[in-house]
Amino acid sequence: EVQLLESGGGLVQPGGSLRLSCAASGFTFSNFAMSWVRQAPGKGLEWVSAVNYSDAGTYYADSVRGRFTISRDDSKTTLYLQMNSLRAEDTALYYCTRLLKYCSGGTCYSRVSDYWGQGTLVTVSS
Amino acid sequence: DIQMTQSPSSLSASVGDRVTVTCRASQGISNYLAWYQQKPGKVPKLLIYAASTLQSGVPSRFSGSGSGTDFTLTISSLQPEDVATYYCQKYNTDPWTFGQGTKVEIK
């Protein structure tokens, strides 16, 4: 059974930093791309960042580029999100997601979230 | 960046009704579109990817269609357990933007 367990959320002051972790189990972590998606209280979903499984290439939303860094440790089957220079608008529930691998027309993709963790809450407030 | 606009923002329908949710991209995205369902207080769930491919385990009353800029999620016969907010997401290029969501309720 695929399991994704986020941790590291909490209350932080504006300008502060946090590192989120996502412990994965139930699948071969090194074979899957992973991502972070967030949801502000009472709001919709916002894609934040993703990391490939092959070349560890990374992708970011414009709202977090330059402030957040996604990384992975395949030996620990863990995904990370280092968040710096936090702002009030970063307040949200942060979900770790596994990216589905599928192939179409001879090309394979890993961009769709097929498994989600329960999320960890980040609150940025003074 | 490409914007994703869903309509309507909310709808109310009766059990057994056919329900349609629309997602429009501000530029063409081929078929790089997914649909998710988020029930109240729950984690989002993948329903459809590649615009029309049903994720394993998803009931067949859900279907997706479209290509380019206009996409549709259809529930052929609305059930009480389908009460949820539905999101589209484009993923042709990053950022992999979500639509704002469509809340589906039972009348």
pLDDT at position A64: 98
Q: Is A9 on the interface with B (CB under 8 A)?
A: no
Smallest CA–CA distance from A36 into chain B, residue: B96
pLDDT at B82: 98
- What does the pLDDT read at residue A56? 78
Of B28, B7, B21, B49, nearest to B93 by C-alpha is: B28
Q: How far is the C-alpha of A126 from the C-alpha of A7, rounded, in Å? A: 21
**Cis peptide, bond prior to residue B95, ω within 30 of zero:** yes
Whole-number mean pLDDT of chain A? Answer: 96
CA-closest candidate to residue B91, choices B35, B20, B12, B47:
B35
Q: Helix, strand or coil for residue A77?
A: coil
The Cα B99–Cα B90 span in angstroms is 8
Residue B107 Cα, gap to closest chain A Cα (Å)? 22
Whether the pLDDT of residue A55 is over 80: the answer is no
Backbone CA torsion sign across A97, A98, A101, A102 = negative
**Which pLDDT score is estimated for A113?**
97
Q: In this predicted structure, what is the pLDDT of residue B51?
A: 97
Give me the phi and psi of A22, to 5 degrees please: -140, 110
CB of B38 closer than 8 Å to CB of B84: yes
Res B8: pLDDT = 97
Cβ distance of B36 and A45 shorter than 8 Å: yes
Q: How confident is the model at residue A1 (pLDDT cuts 50, 70, 90)?
A: very high
Q: Write out the DSSP string of A30-55.
A: GGS-EEEEEE-TTS-EEEEEEE-SSS
Q: Is B48 on the interface with A (CB under 8 A)?
A: no
State the nearest Cα–Cα gap between B96 and chain A, in angstroms.
Answer: 6
Positions in chain B short of pLDDT 50:
none
Residue A89, beta-bridge partner list: none
Residue B68 confidence (pLDDT): 97
Q: What is the pLDDT of residue A8?
A: 98
Taking the C-alpha atoms of residue B106 and residue B27, their distance in angstroms, rounded to an integer, is: 33
Which residues in chain B have their CB less than 8 angstroms from residue A51's CB? none
Q: So what's the pLDDT on residue A54?
A: 79
Instruction: Express each pLDDT in A107-126 by its tens digit.
Output: 888 899 999 999 999 999 99
CA dihedral B79, B66, A61, A3 (to 10 degrees): 40
Are the Cβ atoms of B43 and A100 closer than 8 angstroms? Answer: no
B53 close to A102: Cβ distance less than 8 angstroms: yes
Closest among B40, B26, B32 to B106, alpha carbons compared: B40
Scanning every residue of chain A, which has its alpha carbon at the shortest distance from the alpha carbon of B101?
A: A44
Judging contacts by C-beta atoms under 8 Å, the chain B residues touching residue A35 are 96
Mean pLDDT of A32-40: 97
Output the pLDDT for position A105.
85
Q: Which residues of B touch A114 (CB under 8 A)?
A: 46, 55
Instruction: Say what the pLDDT of residue A104 is.
Output: 85
3-state secondary structure chain B: CCCEEEECCEEEECCCCCEEEEEEECCCCCCCEEEEEECCCCCCEEEEECCCEECCCCCCCEEEEEECCEEEEEECCCCHHHCEEEEEEECCCCCCCECCCEEEEEC
List, as ranges, residues 71-100 from A with C-beta within 8 Å of B. 95, 100
Q: How far is B51 from chain A (nearest CA, A)?
A: 11
Q: Which residues pair with A103 in a beta bridge?
A: A108
Disruptive mutation site among A22, A43, A45 for chain B (greatest number of B CBs within 10 Å): A45
Question: In whole numbers, what is the pLDDT of chain B averaged over residues?
Answer: 97
Q: How many CB atoms sit inside 10 A of residue A92's CB?
A: 22
All residues of chain B having their beta carbon less than 8 Å from the beta carbon of residue A118 are 43
| A78 min Cα distance to partner chain B (Å) | 20
Q: What is the pLDDT of residue A12?
A: 98
pLDDT digits (tens, 9 = 90+) for B76-98: 999 999 999 999 999 999 999 99
